[in-house]
Amino acid sequence: MIGMRSIAVLFVIAWFVFAFFDLNFDRDVFRAYTASEVVDYDPDEGQPRLLPRAVMEYRVQQGGVVGRIGDSVSEYEDCTVFDRDNWSCKHSDESGTFGARQGEFFSRSNLDKFPHLDYLDEEETLSRFRYIMLQCRWDATGGIDAIFCLLRPFTT
């Protein structure tokens, strides 16, 4: 019979496996984990410097890329696609370029044409593990909300 200690060990192993690896079995979907600087960041408040943003999913196809953030879906046609981990697209208004290079997400704003987008350069791309740990740090600032950290790898 499996004891409580064995169950706890199995849970910890599963937590780390799901936190480190994006167990997405859809080979055409690329996920990007990003965070942005906290507005009016005060290190004395004990909050992290970065705020996790919504996970962006991109379905990479030969004809273009379909992006999804939450319930919002956008189709991008001005794209160069090599494979799921190497592609780039331009926004239709030419405000910037985004994509993946060797599995790392990138995003660049066209500051010559849209200088007001300068604030977007403060966005950082994170690994899945770092993104989940950042979510857990924010959970911990909410007291009892820290319990949500136990579920983060399974729900993100």
Q: Flag the least confident range among 15-19, 35-39, 106-110.
A: 106-110
CB 84 within 8 A of CB 68: no
What's the chain's average pLDDT? 85
3-state secondary structure of 54: coil
pLDDT of 144 higher than 80: no
Residue 40's contacts (CB-CB under 8 Å, 6 or more residues apart) are none
Which pLDDT band holds residue 114 (cuts at 50, 70, 90)?
Answer: low
Please state the pTM of the whole predicted model: 0.82
With a CB cutoff of 8 Å and minimum separation 6, the contacts of 9 are none
Render 61-124 in DSSP notation, one character per residue: ETTEEEEEETTEEEEE-SEEEEETTEEEEE-TTSSEEEEEETTEEEEEE-TTT-GGGGGGGG-E
User: pLDDT tens for residues 78-104?
Assistant: 899 998 899 999 888 877 888 999 989
